Structure 1
Amino acid sequence: MKTLQQQLGNYGLYHRSKRNVLTHFFGIPLIVYAVLCLLARIYLPVADHVINGAHVFVLATVIYYLLLNVSLGLIMAVILVVMSIAAAPIASLSFTSWLAVSIGVFIFGWVLQFIGHYFEGKKPAFVDDLIGLIIGPLFVLVEALFLLGLYKQLEQQITDIAGPTKP
């Protein structure tokens, strides 16, 4: 498994334009939320409990993030749990409404992504490496933390791999 720095640095190669990163601040959370809305409708009986597909997705994703970095994994755990809780009301809608809202949010999130990559002049990272689909949310988190002046060493390590950001 690649290190956190390698994963984020590789993802960063496709995201040096500040306009592209800005569209990702909105597009990626919308996509993740839509996926959670879709998965929350899949119910799985486990012993005396019922879990849903969103729970499984969050658990698997958080484990991966924790393996990369404990503190970032914990932050992502909080964000993903809150998003999965927010997805529950959408999952409880009628089938048609649930599907329309979930797919609509998903498509809108991807439209924002592709607008960002138009500004960037590069294809999305996942085209070359599917792991980019799971690294994207973590990249958005660290970019937000960098704006707050946090994780400066990680920011420098990513810049060393991907190069400086452009306006």
Structure 2
Amino acid sequence: MYSVEPAAPRGLERLVDRLAGYGAYHRDARNLITHLIGIPMIVVAVAILLSRPTLDLGDVHLNPAMVVAGLAAAWYLGLDLRFGAVMTVLLTAAVVTGDALADRSTGVWLGWGLGLFVVGWIFQAVGHVFEGRKPAFLDDVAGLLIGPLFVVSETAFMIGLRREVAAAIEARVGPLRVRERRRPVRPH
């Protein structure tokens, strides 16, 4: 007898495929928590570090962070308009933050950029110790783009949004595992 997996909601197959592929590496709730902290730190760090140098085109200045964020936003929007719009706003905030820190001294710029990058990856590593699995991007480099979207989608799922997407992902990879707390046995 064959089991039939529920289909992804119409028009969301690529989104569900990407999030389920990444989500398969992230089923431990503790790993999810570390990713909710670490991934935003890494995204902001990359925006900071890519905010130098700038190319001035008259009144407009352009830096690598703007280009990378623009390309990433276009990719997210192509994958899903609603999550893509949220990602675009968040990437814009990261670029604005990076741009502001790029105007500071080299020590401030590098301190924030490298500090957030290193601490963010420490959170990631701890999460994968909990998970007992290597990071998804080691098998598919696209995981580096999916990670931030995973954080946004999981946050949306936690507050009850996009339930149809959450259900389709869980149908493929199962629910989050929550480690049960062991209660001490008390003598009677």
Q: Which residue of 1 aligns with 2:116?
A: 105
Change in Cα spacing, 1:89 to 1:45, as seen in structure 2 (3 Å) is closer
Q: Does 2:174 correspond to 1:163? A: yes
Q: Does 2:138 correspond to 1:136? A: no
What is the DSSP-based 3-state SS (H/G/I as helix, E as strand, rest coil) of the residue aligned with 1:9?
helix
Q: Report % sequence identity.
A: 41
Cα distance in 1 for partners of 2:95, 2:28 equals 30
Q: Which of 52-61 and 122-131 deviates more?
A: 52-61
Q: Does 2:137 correspond to 1:145? A: no
Q: Which of 122-131 and 152-161 deviates more?
A: 152-161
Question: CA offsets per residue over residues 19-67 of structure 1, 9 Å max, x none?
Answer: 0000001100000000000011121344763211111111100000011
| Alignment of structure 1 residues 69-80 onto 2, 5 Å | 69-80=80-91
| Alignment of structure 1 residues 1-167 onto 2, 5 Å | 3-46=14-57, 49-167=60-178
What is the DSSP-based 3-state SS (H/G/I as helix, E as strand, rest coil) of the residue aligned with 2:147?
helix
Cα distance in 2 for partners of 1:46, 1:88 equals 16
What is the DSSP-based 3-state SS (H/G/I as helix, E as strand, rest coil) of the residue aligned with 2:140?
coil
Gap runs ≥5 in structure 1: none
Residue 98 of structure 1, CA deviation: 1.5
Gap runs ≥5 in structure 2: 1-12, 179-188
Residue 97 of structure 1, CA deviation: 2.8
Change in Cα spacing, 1:153 to 1:52, as seen in structure 2 (3 Å) is same
Cα distance in 1 for partners of 2:59, 2:93 equals 24
Residue 160 of structure 1, CA deviation: 1.6
What is the DSSP-based 3-state SS (H/G/I as helix, E as strand, rest coil) of the residue aligned with 1:122?
coil
What is the DSSP-based 3-state SS (H/G/I as helix, E as strand, rest coil) of the residue aligned with 2:104?
coil
Q: Which of 87-96 and 43-52 deviates more?
A: 43-52
TM-score where L is the length of structure 2:
0.84
Q: Which residue of 1 aligns with 2:182?
A: none
Q: Select the structure of larger CA radius of gyration.
A: 2
Cα distance in 2 for partners of 1:47, 1:138 equals 34
